[in-house]
Amino acid sequence: MGCFFSKRRKAEESRPESEEEQPKQYSWDQREKVDPKDYMFSGLKDETVGRLPGKVAGQQFLIQDCENCNIYIFDHSATITIDDCTNCIIFLGPVKGSVFFRNCRDCKCTLACQQFRVRDCRKLEVFLCCATQPIIESSTNIKFGCFQWYYPELAFQFKDAGLSIFNNTWSNIHDFTPVSGELNWSLLPEDAAVQDYVPVPTTEELKAVRVSTEANKSIVPISRGQRQKTSDESCLVVLFAGDYTIANARKLIDEMVGKHFFLVQTKEVSMKPEDAQRVFREKAPDFLPLLNKGPVIALEFNGDGAVEGCQHIVNEIFNGTKMFVSENKEKASGDVDSFYNFADIQMGI
């Protein structure tokens, strides 16, 4: 009986040189190589540049040392850092992590992200969707408005970035370095049109993205945020998870705004039974079975007659759809405070 190993050795010795054993191929060896230059705009001047949907696909991106440029990132990304840019117009699609501006001035921007931070900047105008509290540091003359933008791929990019269009704290700014008697940030005029700040691109390549800056088409609902309320009467509406929840929320917003009520703020968050007891009080048993289906969407409307107006629309258009609507204007303020206090604590705001 021959030795197994001696047979294998003889076979290896008799193998032609052209058939030498090739190194093993692993899945990570076969991944497409990432060229950092594809995820960077650096040292540009007087140019219009961008990335089309699908070209960034969740990678990190860097923008630095650009002057008098129009920059459009029509895709979702991991993080984006903008350093040392002057007099630039910038659009950033949904960013899963942070957007960080450093040492920039005279820039106009529209962007959506999980975290937003500005340091050592001056004179930025930002139309923002941010899931957490925006932060400025050692910066002056920073102005904020609500994100207002649409193109067909944008809704899917929000999902890919793990962002909700209803979680937007664009106006709840924290200044790490406040100066006594001065305000380093402010809100843009309520009638500010994003097109006047961040216009739609006109180059042939970027025109392929079908952009709209019309307010009623914005993928993110346009809210008043921290602006002074026009009325003492607010109304809370909570929609529960289902196949048409987002569509119903959008329809309700359109109907209420069409009747001249104001959308103050929105939130998408998971609720526990104890949260429901605190917010819905005696009505909680009606809604507890719905909490397991997924996060709820909450909307706050403001204006004289908001509670009655909202109840009428819900009964007329959404009859048969389970929603919580403030019962009367006396209770409505407490409803709003109870819900958003719990939601902000849960989201760490």
Any known ligand binding at 5? Answer: no
Half-sphere exposure of 321 (CA within 13 A, CB side): 25
Q: 158 with 94: CB under 8 angstroms?
A: yes
CA torsion angle 105 221 50 52 (round to 10): 170
Any known ligand binding at 117? Answer: yes
Q: Which letter does DSSP use for residue 249 in this model?
A: H
b/e code 147-172 from CB counts within 10 Å (16+ = b): bbbbbebbeebbebbebbbbbbbbbb
Report CA torsion sign: 109, 167, 253, 318: positive
Half-sphere exposure of 57 (CA within 13 A, CB side): 5
Q: 154 with 137: CB under 8 angstroms?
A: no
Any known ligand binding at 320? Answer: no
Any known ligand binding at 97? Answer: yes
Indicate left, alpha or beta for 282 from its phi (over 0: left) and psi (-120 to 50: alpha).
alpha
Q: Which letter does DSSP use for residue 128 in this model?
A: E
- Residue 199: CB partners within 8 Å, gap ≥ 6? 70, 89
Binding residues for GTP: 97-98, 114-117
Binding residues: 97-98, 114-117
